[in-house]
Amino acid sequence: MINPFKPEIAVITEVFKETSDTTTYTFRFKDEETRETWSFEPGQFNMITVFGIGEAPISISSAPSDTGFVQHTVRHVGNVTNALAKKKPGDVVGIRGAYGTGWPFHQLYGRNVLIVAGGIGLAPLRPVIREVMRQRDRFKEVEVLYGARTPGDMLFVREFPEWSEYVKLRLTVDTVPPGVKWDHKVGVVTTLFSEMSSQPSNTVVLTCGPEIMMKFVVRGLLHMGFSPDRIYVSMERRMHCGVGKCGRCQIGPRFTCKDGPVFAYEELAALPEEVLGGVGR
Amino acid sequence: MAVTRTSSVPDMVVLSGELWQELLKLVTAQYKVIGPVRRGSEHVFAPVKDPRDIDMAYVTTILPPKKVFHQPFQVLFSFDTEEGTLAEEESGEEKVLWGIHPCDMHAIAILDKVYGIEYPDPYYLRNRENTIIVAKNCTEVGENCFCLSMGTGPALRSGYDLLLTDLGGRYLVEVGTEKGRKLLSGLELVPAPRVVLVEKEKRLSQARQKFKKRMITQGIQELLEENFRHPIWEELMRECLACGSCTMVCPTCFCYNVVDKIDLDLKTGKRQREWDSCMLLEYAQVALGQNFRRDRDARIKQRIYHKLLYYEPQFGTLGCVGCGRCIGACVKRIDITDVVSRLAESVESDR
Amino acid sequence: MSTKLKVSVYKLSSCAGCQLEFLNLEPVLLDLVGAIEFSYFPMARRRYEPGPYDIGFVEGAVTCGEEIERLKKARQECRILVALGSCACYGGLPSIKNWTPERVIVSRVYENSSLIHSIKAYGIDEYVQVDAYLKGCPVNKDELVEFIKGTLLGIRPRLRPHSVCVECKLNEYECISVIKREPCMGPVTTAGCGALCPSRGKACDGCRGPANDANAESLARTFSEYGLHRSDIVRRFRKFAGLTQEFSRGADAV
Amino acid sequence: MTTGDIKVDYLARVEGEGALDIRVKDGEIVDLKLRIFEPPRFFQGFLVGRKYDEVPGIVSRICGICPVSHQITAIQALEDAFGVRPSLQTKRLRKLLALSQWIQSHTLHIYMLALPDFLGYESILAMAQDHMDAVKRALKLKRLGNDLTVLLGGREVHPVTAVINGFTSLPPVEELRAIQRRLEDALDDAVETVRLCASLEVPDFSWDAEHVALRSEEGYAVNEGRLVSTKGLDIPAWEYRSHIKEKQVPHSNALHSYIVGRGSFLVGPLARVNLNADRLSPRAKEAMKASGVRFPSFNPFHSALARAIELVHAIEESIRIIDDLDELVPEDSGYSIKPGQGFAITEAPRGALYHSYKVNDQGLIEAADIVSPTAHNVNNMEEDLRRFVPRVLDLPHDEATLKCEMVVRNYDPCISCSVHFLKLNIVRE
Ligand SMILES: Cc1cc2nc3c(=O)[nH]c(=O)nc-3n(C[C@H](O)[C@H](O)[C@H](O)COP(=O)(O)OP(=O)(O)OC[C@H]3O[C@@H](n4cnc5c(N)ncnc54)[C@H](O)[C@@H]3O)c2cc1C
Ligand code: SF4
Ligand code: SF4
Ligand code: SF4
């Protein structure tokens, strides 16, 4: 019997510090067969093990067409993620996955795409952006709205110039520390709505970020006439198995790990438990 | 093509006095048996060495027999922090789970779905497959039992390897599977006449008369969906101790936590999972302190809604089997059937 | 060798039982001293090395001014300061006296009370910032080891934050409250002791202080239903952790 | 012609904190103070108003090294007040529990306090390199005592099962048998410990201090008996206060126990062996004889040896008690509360421990009186020091310090349990 709880061993091949508290890791599976057959969809996540510390669900931030390696972008906030911060190229971790629903990638073909991300929420959307760049003709207008706390907290900035050749990239930050140069917007991510070009018709929305952010994003977009059945959100819940067994991630009858993390907004809105916006309650 | 003696065992036998004792002796001698034994004034499922320790008259146990399959603590594998080498724990021996009640059998059927679908759970399934289940119909009813309302008792129709019914000093034994038949193979047995089924039915219908507790199941889904905001939840929030007992004892609860237990050399260790509970504050807390169910009422609702509303779309069945353990374990006597009745009453009086 | 964690153990007003738990770790003691250095531990060593230390374990409640000074010094010389046991966490048993005027308490023990300079007993976080709490009277040895391992690894160790009931159930102990209708503090007390008292047929005494989300008011109402007098209920909550908000609410509930 | 001060700050390894100030002038001691830093925790103060059944659990917290002794003494004092007479089974289990703590505490003292001093190490941890055998033996014996406490009481420090008129739970007989085998196996280790202690070179230092201990018809006294002494004391527990009192002395910080009409006295293993040698178990007697030291001995430096002899006794006696406990039956532990006063004395590892309570008709405590072994001894400690110090005045400071510490550590003082210590103007270096 396959044991879904036993991670594959992977070696860190590259460590790139995105910001003061976030790092992008490149991993290579030790087992050659796994390396060749392993596949995933944008928006899925892996359970990453630091042996002796524990496991944490982390979105895959590389694209399916990036073969031979897999990348994760990790914000160091707790035990596992801080332990990762101490890892160097050559160190081993455990990886199992890929788990969960991805973004409805094939539904995006022939449509406009609006991506709204906050903070670390850009990580699971990076694979979408990278695929869009590689198959640009299959999509109509693609616009990315991205907000972070400060300019220094923006992820993937070294890739922005290239991204901008393919998609409309609009940036905002909550605050600009004194002495920092910033040519973009200041304010929460929804302040970008006033300047964005995306229109409700034929547009699919993908959003990921803090739950409170997604609440206001969804509320704003619905108000502007975007269709609730074409808004997709990626949810965060505590998880310990990734495969619908440990129960920790349930939202109503849904398991965030296997029915999500990407949900159609409509599906969540129908649940009795107040979800988007029920922050802390 | 050896013809085993097993095939000569009839499908239905009646065992009394000596034969019954002989069966117990035979089974406990040949297998690791886990059966109901006394612990103070309660009962637990525990390994039985001496058949006299089995108490067939038990009403319920502190923990349900699910603990044999989904263990409170389960080592998943051991590791080496530098190499990452993974050694899996060895599988256990064949055992017999003796005397479980219909409600618990139904609960196991639910867990079979939880652990059997999509990514089958090897630890659960290994324990499950290694176990022969001897179930026992209930001819007596406990004060908290309401399986009758849930359609999960007092009689069992399927799922067992052997099924026992107490006919008063004699046991009707029905064979459910070949695994079960094997247990009877060492005895000289004659088939029971079909009339004992009449006797069995009589005893079970007597039992049905004895239920004091009842759960309203009709329209329960709508009832809950419409009353997510209801004063009763605030009242329960004031009462509930959030101690977690109700969920720890529930036969259908499956939540767990995973922890790495590292040795003092900081090089080797084990990954282990252990039961957890949605009633506990830290359960839904994530890094940086955010908690998706900080308030007690949110957690109480999660438990009750999960049992009575969410299992259905998840696993095609209600998540409560009416064993009554959560009622019995609650220091505050919070009663799931009472909560539903009161919701129904308040809706009734609103009309 | 030089990479060993430097550990110090301080004693304030206490019974020394918590620090004795280090020496009660016989089976792993030699491994432990392979990983950490008891740089300052008067109970076990005559010699001591000066700070700074990586971890400082402070045992005992603060009950006099001089202890406040020593505590502040301890805070300065330790990277991680740990409240070792319920006295250091909450004031512990010595805090029972806080509800009686100091003068009355002193005169019950000493004839010449003018010589005694005692103040109300508090946990150490009344005076300094505390990085971790190891609860219990005494602390649990397994938790102590888990904590040290966690510190060696640089992580937050997992200490059970929930009620004693969870461990009671995990081990299938007969419920003292439901079965015997005895007033058990388990539902509001932090686990980590393995439900020791219920395992030995005894109601939990609440020695580990309030659990996560402890609903002491509700438990106090149940105690009252069990026939406890108001003063009995107050005594139960004002024992090991009477100064905590949660247990104060229990004491005031009925 | 020397004038100097000896200050021993932080008497290391006495599970508490004390300091010794000695002022010397022209070779004469002009002032000697054993200062105790331990602030009072007022157990006797806050016990007033608590319920009788809380008492054993509360007084346990007076001392983490000998919690069992406080529990048992409190229980017996309350039983005395209520007129409860526990069963033989309960008495046997209690004795076993008390002995388990002797094994643990004696091992702790001998190997972790005394041996490093005599062998010239700063701690047992430092001894590990050269004396691994001894260290391993220490850990084994200490664990054994602890495991026996855990089996009977639930945990090593502040066990939970002992209550008035019985136990809340009984140990499984198989486990008692299993630990009995370990006790049998450990007897040789205990005898080896006696040999080791006998081999230590001790100063020739004796004086005729009064030695006080319980003595009983029922064997080497632990939980029962009359309080007797080498100078003719012979009283039951309830007469304690007519004979033993405390006074405050101007040069010292501590209340000093004294026997009315005489003065300071010594309790503990040395006193017990001196007064009860005839009641020791066979192997303990043998080991005592083989040690080459003649008892009674009035040399306080023989207290480690006395402890080792008691270690043999405690183990052998435990084996015997387990033999007697072949079937444990749950008993009715009911009793009714009566207003009144009760008294009890037991032998804690460090010596005689006295508890007395006055209980009202509600079962509330009206007065509590607790005198721990260390409180009994502190007066005598100073007496020892006063006689001993002149011998070390000419030694280098470090050595003199160590020697003074050793005098104090002979008593294995558990400062945290000294509920009677006063704290006065603490001056810290
Ligand atoms: C589907 C999904 C995708 C995610 N993708 C990313 C990502 O790409 N980059 C990133 O930096 N973070 C991501 N997170 C959040 C990340 O999982 C948490 O930050 C991480 O689990 C914290 O673990 P820790 O051990 O460092 O923290 P601790 O607070 O020490 O957590 C202890 C344990 O609690 C659990 N836990 C704590 N917080 C969370 C949480 N937010 N979600 C789930 N379990 C939690 C974990 O099992 C963890 O082992 C994602 C979360 C989910 C659910
Ligand atoms: S919810 Fe309660 S009654 Fe229902 S199965 Fe669980 S424990 Fe039994
Ligand atoms: S005995 Fe106490 S701690 Fe255990 S389940 Fe009952 S109430 Fe909770
Ligand atoms: S059960 Fe309660 S009193 Fe007993 S050790 Fe645990 S927390 Fe302390």
Per-residue pLDDT reduced to its tens digit, B301-333: 999 999 999 988 888 899 999 999 999 999 999
Beta bridge partners of A93: A10
For residue C9, the number of C-alpha atoms closer than 13 Å in the C-beta half-sphere is 26
Reduced to 3 states (helix: H, G, I; strand: E, B; else coil), residue B11 is coil
Amino acid at A219: R
Q: What is the domain partition of chain A in residue ranges? A: 8-99, 105-278
CB distance C121 to C97 below 8 Å: yes
Separation in Å, CA of B232 to nearest CA in chain C: 16
Interface probe with C: pick from D97, D160, D245, most Cβ of C within 10 Å: D160
Nearest CA in chain A to B229: A272
Q: What is the CATH number of domain A105-278?
A: 3.40.50.80
Q: Is residue C187 in contact with ligand 3, taking CB distance under 6 Å?
A: yes
Of the partner residues D10, D15, D41, the one whose CB lies closest to the CB of residue C63:
D41
| Residue D425: predicted pLDDT | 27
Which of B79-83, B157-161, C106-110, D398-402 tops mean pLDDT?
A: B157-161
Return the percentage of chain A with pLDDT > 90, whole number: 79
In angstroms, the separation between the Cα of residue C194 and the nearest Cα of chain D is 11
The full length of chain B comes to 351
Does the Cβ of B287 fall within 6 Å of ligand 1?
yes
The Cα–Cα gap between B85 and B87 comes to 7
Pairing, β B162-166 against β B131-136: parallel
pLDDT, tens only, C204-232: 999 999 999 999 999 999 999 999 999 99
SS3 (DSSP) at C115: helix
Asked if residue A96 lies in contact with residue B77, where contact means CB atoms within 8 angstroms, the answer is no
Residue D424 confidence (pLDDT): 25
Nearest residue by C-alpha to atom 6 in ligand 3: C175
Give the pLDDT confidence score for residue D421 in this predicted structure. 31
* Contact at CB, C66 and D108, closer than 8 angstroms: no
Buried b (16+ CB within 10 A) or exposed e, B322-344: bbbbbbbbbbbebbbbebbebbb
For residue A17, is it left (φ>0), alpha (ψ between -120 and 50) or beta?
beta
Is residue D268 within 8 A of residue D411, CB to CB? The reply is: yes
Does C42 score more than 90 pLDDT? no
Q: Ligand 1: which of A22, A61, A77 to mutate, judged by most atoms within 8 Å of the beta carbon?
A: A77
pLDDT value for D15 = 40
Top mean pLDDT of A104-113, B5-14, C241-250, D247-256 is at C241-250
User: In this structure, which amino acid lies at residue D262?
Assistant: R
Residue B296 contacts C, CB cutoff 8 Å: yes
pLDDT of residue D28: 76
- Alpha carbon B328 to its chain centroid, in Å, reads 15
Asked whether C62 and C126 are in contact (CB, 8 A), the reply is yes
Q: Is the pLDDT of residue B7 over 90?
A: no
**Is the link from the previous residue into D296 a cis peptide, with omega within 30 of 0?**
yes
- What region, left, alpha or beta, does residue C21 occupy, with left being phi > 0 and alpha being psi -120 to 50 degrees? alpha
Question: Can chain C be said to touch chain B, i.e. do they have 3 or more Cβ pairs within 8 angstroms?
Answer: yes
B325 lines ligand 2 (CB under 6 A): yes
Enumerate residues 6+ apart whose C-beta is below 8 A from A172: A145, A146, A147, A184, A185, A186, A187, A188, A189, A191, A192
Alpha helices in C154-243 (DSSP H): 164-170, 176-180, 196-199, 216-225, 230-237
Q: Distance (Å, rounded) from C-alpha A24 to C-alpha A100?
A: 21
Residues of chain C with Cβ-Cβ distance to D126 below 8 Å are 45
Q: How many CA atoms lie within 13 A of A45 on its CB side?
A: 30
- For residue C115, the distance in angstroms to the closest alpha carbon of chain A comes to 50
pLDDT of residue D147: 98
**What are chain A's partners, defined as 3 or more CB pairs within 8 angstroms?**
B, C
Does any ligand 3 atom lie closer than 6 A to the CB of residue C211?
Answer: no
pLDDT at residue number D418: 37
**Environment class of residue C217 by beta-carbon count within 10 Å: exposed (0-12), middle (13-18) or buried (19+)?**
middle
pLDDT in tens, chain D (429 residues): 344 555 554 444 444 456 677 777 777 777 777 766 566 778 888 999 999 999 999 999 998 999 999 999 999 999 999 999 999 999 999 999 999 999 999 999 999 888 988 898 888 888 888 999 999 999 999 999 999 999 999 999 999 999 999 999 999 999 999 999 999 999 999 999 999 999 999 999 999 999 999 999 989 999 999 999 999 999 999 999 999 998 766 555 567 899 999 999 999 999 999 999 999 999 999 999 999 999 999 999 999 999 999 999 999 999 999 999 978 999 888 899 999 999 999 999 999 999 999 999 999 999 999 998 988 998 898 889 888 888 887 787 777 777 888 888 888 766 544 333 322 222 223
- Given CB atoms, is B93 within the 8 Å cutoff of chain A? no
Angle between helical axes of C230-237 and C216-225 (0-180°, round to 10): 140
Q: What is the pLDDT of residue C8?
A: 94
Residue indicated by tokens 């346990």 = D60
A212-261 per-position pLDDT tens digit: 899 999 999 999 999 888 999 999 999 999 999 999 999 989 999 999 89
Q: Is D269 helix (H, G, I), strand (E, B) or coil?
A: helix
Predicted confidence at residue A113, as pLDDT, reads 93
- State both tokens at D343: 């008294």
d(CA D113, CA D412): 8
Cα-to-centroid distance, B103 and ligand 2 (Å): 9
Q: A79 phi and psi, to 5 degrees?
A: -60, -60
Q: In testing the pocket of ligand 1, which one of A59, A208, A241 has its CB within 8 Å of the most ligand atoms? A: A59
Question: Is any atom of ligand 1 closer than 6 Å to the C-beta of A81?
Answer: yes
Q: Angle of helix D282-290 relative to helix D173-198, nearest 10 degrees?
A: 10
Residue of B331, B332, B333, B334 best suited for mutating to test ligand 3, as the one with most atoms within 8 Å of CB: B331
Of the given ranges (B260-264, C113-117, D47-51), which has the lowest mean pLDDT?
A: C113-117
CATH 3.90.110.10 at A8-99, yes or no: no
Q: Which residues pair with D355 in a beta bridge?
A: D344, D370
Residues of B in contact with A280 (CB under 8 A): 290-291, 294
Instruction: Please work out, in degrees rounded to the nearest 5, the angle formed at the alpha carbon of residue B170 by the alpha carbons of B165 and B176.
Output: 35
CB-CB contact of D312 with D104 (8 Å): no
Burial of D48 per CB tally in 10 Å (0-12, 13-18, 19+): buried
**D397 or B101, which is more confident:** B101
Cβ pair A141, A118 in contact under 8 A: no
Say yes or no: C154 contacts chain A, CB-CB below 8 A: yes
Q: Which residues of C94-132 are buried (b: 16+ CB within 10 A; e: fewer)?
A: bbbbbbbebeebbebbbeeeeebbbebbbbbbbebebbb
The angle subtended at Cα C95 by Cα C89 and Cα C99, nearest 5°, is 140
The b-or-e profile of A156-190 (16+ CB within 10 A means b, else e) is beeeeeebeebbbbbbbbeeeeeeeeeeebeebbb
Please state, for a pLDDT cut of 90, what percent of chain B lies above it: 76
The SS3 call for residue C22 is helix
Owner of token pair 């080497």: D220
Q: Which is nearest to D197 in space by CA: D96, D270, D282, D102?
A: D270
Q: Which of B138, B141, B179, B188 is nearest to B159 (CA)?
A: B179
Topology, domain D43-377: Cytochrome-c3 Hydrogenase; chain B (1.10.645)
> What pLDDT does residue B234 have?
93
The model's pTM: 0.92
C21 and D156 within 8 Å at the Cβ level: the answer is: yes
Over residues A44-91, the pLDDT tens digits come to 999 999 999 999 999 999 999 998 899 999 999 999 999 999 999 999
B323, B145 contact by CB (below 8 A): yes
B191: helix, strand or coil: coil
CB A124 within 8 A of CB A155: no
Other C-beta atoms closer than 10 Å to the C-beta of B91 total 11
Place of tokens 């019997």: A1
Q: Indicate the angle between helix axes D269-276 and D303-324, nearest 10 degrees.
A: 70
- Structural domains in chain C, sorted by start: 5-153 (3.40.50.700), 164-252 (no CATH)
Closest-CA residue to C16 (of D52, D98, D401, D372): D372
> Left if phi > 0, otherwise alpha if psi is -120 to 50, otherwise beta: which for D249?
beta
Beta strands in chain B (DSSP E): 12-16, 32-39, 42-48, 73-80, 86-88, 95-100, 131-136, 162-166, 170-175, 256-262, 268-275
SS3 content of chain B, % helix, strand, coil (to 5): 40, 20, 40
